[in-house]
């Protein structure tokens, strides 16, 4: 037993508070900067309330469907071992990291009016599919977020020590018993957070909702913010709308916090989780069917992106290679920043888990989920413009904002594991008076390395695909690959743009696999 109580203020806490303060300044501070630059105080019109209503309803349905559908998928992945499982998990995650325009065109290539399914229907004498409207928005958001929900749930499953299933088998528990005793508490601990995260991703959606929404009914708050800047140049209104988005974010966070029950499954000794209960024929068929269906749903659009891209690859020139290199550099910087911030926040949260401070620190890490990229970009622009040439800091700002944007996902991956390490090894480490770097290196790091690899891979891939705020700071001579892709499209060069999309997807997946592999490495 530790002799002494946990000190109230530790270096870990101070560092955590520092990073949290920086994040709050970046997301909330930029709203204040934009509001301060307004000529007139903003006010909201009837259109904005309609946008709020649409934003909330589509996000609720999209998040609910994504998380509910993810349950059987994550369960099937958790209890089956088969050849290519790792690769399948990686590929299933790909939609989440695709640039919006690429994903939308891929989606339409399968489910659109001129897509594969429609072509088949028309050939058979039926009317083509019509996906535009509310269902189109939901379809696209499920396409983007089902992979994320699956990953988050799968992580929960994987935290169950193998010993639990061994014990369950010894006790002769059925699949149903295991579901009640082991799996449901896990879901209870993971689902609300996953739901809230995806809900907010759908709240801040803009181009996807508009393109598949079929008309101005599909106006989200983020589109209204864009309109306030670009069409009306009304910064006061933009700031108000951004605050509205934060209020929704706070609501979602409270919901997740109230509903989540700590289902931390306790300690194990790292035994491989083997399932004795679901070797039956029916269970296998169900899991196989679930995986086949979800693979078809998610991978068919991806396959179309890849297929169409092959022809375009030959049309790319040195400019594409330069843009790719630039994107990789930004992604690596962004990954380092994400991981650094996540570890600092995670350490503070894990060691001060019971205190109020830890809650605030963890919340700060998630602020960017509800932030408007447009407002962050504009706020930073107003702050930096008097000091430097925006183009000269374009890549640095992009890396920073991308890092902050992927931080919530890194925290989702790392914090539970870091808490777990603290609860299992913390007392021993305390009793040895092990602290600081030695404790991190010898105790924490070996245990969290796989999660850190996953978080880094996700951050790198997300940064690769994100156009984010770079548009405002853009240096015409220093385009990243997504910007380069948009420029190709904007100059009628659709074929070459598809080649660039293929390049982007391939390198993003490679970076993800690389970090994931480094995390798992011996």
Partner 1 sequence: MIRISLMAAGLALALAGAPMAAEKPVLNVYTYDSFASDWGPGPKVEKAFEAICDCDLKFTTAGDGAALLARVQLEGKRSRADVVLGLDTSLTARAAESGLFAPHGITPENLAVPGGWNDPLFLPFDWGYFAFVYDKNKLKTVPRSFKELAAAPDSLKIVIEDPRSSTPGLGLLLWVKAAYGDKAPEIWKGLAPHILTVTKGWSEAYGMFLKGEADMVLSYTTSPAYHLIAENDDSKAAAIFDEGHYMQIEVAGKMATAPHPDLADKFLKFMMSEKFQSLIPTTNWMYPAVQLKDGLPRRFAAPIPADKALILSPERAQAVRDAALAEWQSALSQ
SS (H, E, C) 284-330: HHHHHHHHHHHHHHHHHHHHHHHHHHHHHHCCCCHHHHHHHHHHHHH
Q: Which is nearer to partner 1, 260 or 472 (CB)?
A: 472
CB of 214 to partner 1, least distance (A): 5
For residues 357 and 384, which CB has a smaller minimum distance to partner 1 in the complex?
384
CA 164 to chain centre: 30
Convert 227-252 to b/e letters by CB count within 10 Å (16 or more is b). Answer: bbbeeeebbbbbbbbbbbbbebbeeb
Q: Exposure of 453 by Cβ count < 10 A (0-12 exposed, 13-18 middle, 19+ buried)?
A: buried
Instruction: Pick the closer one to partner 1 by CB: 32 or 260.
Output: 32
Closer residue to partner 1, CB minimum distance, 409 or 484: 484
Cβ 429 to partner 1 shortest distance, Å:
43
- C-beta of 160 vs 502, nearer to partner 1: 502
Closer CB to partner 1, 118 or 406, in the complex: 118
Q: Helices 494-520 & 85-92, crossing angle to 10 degrees?
A: 130
Spatial separation of the C-alpha atoms in residues 329 and 303, rounded to whole Å:
27
Smallest gap, in angstroms, from Cβ of residue 486 to partner 1?
6
Which residues would be at the binding site for partner 1 (CB under 8 A)? 37, 47, 50, 101, 104-105, 108-109, 112-114, 132, 136, 206-207, 210-218, 223, 226-227, 229-231, 233, 318-319, 321-322, 324-326, 329, 378, 381-382, 385-386, 389, 391-392, 471-472, 474-478, 486-494, 497
- Closest to 300 (Cα-Cα) out of 93, 107, 86: 107
Nearest to 346 by CA among 13, 9, 24: 13
Residue with smaller CB distance to partner 1, 104 or 361: 104
Q: Minimum CB separation from partner 1 for residue 497, in Å?
A: 8
Residue whose structure tokens are 């407002």: 375
**Residue 352: partners with Cβ closer than 8 Å, 6 or more residues away:** 6, 10, 12, 13, 16, 358
| Secondary structure class of 280 (helix, strand, coil) | coil
CB of 393 to partner 1, least distance (A): 12
Q: How far is the CB of 341 from partner 1 (least distance, A)?
A: 25
User: Nearest distance from residue 492's CB to partner 1, in Å?
Assistant: 5
């Amino acid at each position: 037993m530790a002799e002494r109580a946990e000190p109230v203020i530790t270096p870990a806490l101070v560092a955590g508070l520092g990073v949290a303060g920086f994040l709050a300044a970046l997301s909330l501070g930029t709203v204040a900067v934009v509001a301060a630059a307004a000529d007139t105080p903003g006010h909201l019109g009837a259109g904005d309330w309609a946008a709020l209503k649409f934003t909330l309803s589509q996000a609720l349905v999209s998040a609910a469907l994504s998380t509910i559908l993810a349950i059987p998928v994550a369960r099937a992945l958790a209890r089956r071992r088969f050849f290519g499982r790792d690769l399948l998990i990686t590929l299933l995650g790909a939609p989440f990291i695709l640039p919006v325009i690429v994903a939308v065109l891929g989606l339409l290539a399968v489910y659109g009016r001129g897509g594969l399914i429609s072509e088949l229907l028309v050939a058979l004498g039926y009317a083509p599919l019509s996906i535009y409207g509310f269902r189109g928005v939901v379809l696209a958001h499920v396409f983007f977020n089902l992979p994320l929900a699956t990953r988050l749930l799968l992580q929960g499953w994987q935290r169950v020590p193998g010993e639990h299933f061994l014990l369950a088998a010894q006790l002769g528990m059925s699949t149903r018993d295991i579901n009640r005793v082991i799996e449901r508490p896990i879901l209870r601990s993971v689902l609300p957070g996953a739901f809230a995260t995806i809900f907010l991703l759908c709240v801040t959606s803009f181009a996807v909702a508009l393109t598949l929404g079929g008309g101005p009914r599909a106006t989200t708050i983020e589109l209204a913010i864009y309109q306030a800047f670009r069409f009306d140049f009304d910064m006061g209104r933009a700031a108000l709308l951004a605050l509205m988005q934060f209020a929704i974010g706070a609501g979602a966070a409270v919901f997740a916090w109230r509903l989540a029950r700590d289902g931390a499954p306790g300690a194990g000794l790292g035994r491989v989780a083997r399932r004795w209960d679901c070797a039956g024929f029916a269970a296998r068929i169900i899991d196989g069917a679930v995986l086949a269906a979800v693979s078809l749903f998610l991978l068919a659009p991806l396959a179309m992106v890849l297929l169409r891209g092959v022809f375009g690859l030959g049309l790319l020139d040195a400019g594409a290679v330069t843009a790719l290199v630039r994107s990789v550099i930004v992604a690596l910087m962004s990954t380092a920043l994400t991981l650094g911030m996540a570890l600092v926040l995670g350490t503070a949260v894990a060691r001060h888990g019971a205190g109020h401070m830890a809650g605030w620190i963890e919340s700060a890490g998630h602020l960017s989920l509800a932030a408007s990229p447009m407002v962050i970009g504009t706020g930073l622009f107003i702050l930096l413009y008097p000091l430097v040439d925006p183009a000269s800091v374009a890549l640095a700002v992009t890396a920073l904002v991308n890092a902050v944007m992927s931080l919530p996902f890194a925290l989702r991956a790392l914090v539970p594991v870091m808490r777990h390490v603290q609860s299992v090894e913390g007392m021993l480490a305390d009793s040895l008076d092990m602290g600081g770097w030695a404790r991190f290196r010898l105790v924490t790091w070996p245990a969290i390395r796989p999660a850190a690899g996953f978080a880094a891979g996700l951050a790198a891939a997300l940064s690769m695909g994100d156009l984010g705020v770079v548009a405002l700071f853009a240096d015409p001579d220093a385009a990243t690959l997504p910007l380069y892709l948009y420029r190709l499209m904007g100059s009628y060069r659709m074929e070459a743009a598809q080649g660039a999309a293929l390049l982007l997807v391939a390198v993003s997946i490679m970076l993800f696999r690389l970090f994931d592999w480094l995390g798992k490495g011996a």
